[in-house]
């Protein structure tokens, strides 16, 4: 997690526009724990992880929108128990992710 925060500072100092996605809540099966972070820049480059697979792709896309708009968002993704086995999980779960744009001072 600290590497993501140090990278955020570096990317901002380089003039890159960035967003930070943070896992704020999980229920059931979740690939990453609360507090996990993903740093995304305007070009779609990223560092860290909040989930994996298609969820992470969706978070990156939403983060680019957050960078452009400046408005933070809370995203929620879930898999029902009935379909969990189909996607390789032992049970269903949900994850909530907070996405915020950062400015050069590292403030939202």
Q: What DSSP assignment string belongs to 65-108?
A: HHHHH---EEEEEEE-HHHHGGGT-SS-EEEEEEEEEE-TTS--
Which of 24-33, 58-67, 98-107 shows the lowest per-residue confidence on average (mean pLDDT)? Answer: 98-107
Band the pLDDT of 88: cuts 50, 70, 90: low
- What are the structural domain ranges in the chain? 2-102
Give the pTM.
Answer: 0.85
- Per-residue pLDDT tens over the stretch 10-19: 999 999 999 9
Predicted local confidence at residue 106, as pLDDT: 46
Residue 8 CB-density burial (10 A; 0-12 exposed, 13-18 middle, 19+ buried): buried
Predicted confidence (pLDDT) at residue 104 exceeds the cutoff of 80: no
């Amino acid at each position: 997690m600290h590497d993501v925060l140090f990278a955020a500072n570096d990317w901002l100092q380089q003039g890159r526009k960035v967003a930070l996605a943070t896992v704020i809540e999980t229920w059931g099966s979740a690939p990453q724990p609360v507090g996990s972070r993903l740093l995304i820049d305007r070009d779609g480059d990223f560092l860290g992880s909040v989930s994996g697979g298609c969820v992470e792709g969706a978070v990156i896309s939403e983060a680019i929108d957050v960078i452009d708009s400046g408005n933070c968002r809370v995203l929620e993704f879930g898999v029902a128990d009935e379909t969990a086995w189909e996607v390789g999980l032992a049970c269903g779960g949900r994850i909530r992710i907070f996405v915020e744009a950062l400015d050069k001072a590292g403030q939202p």
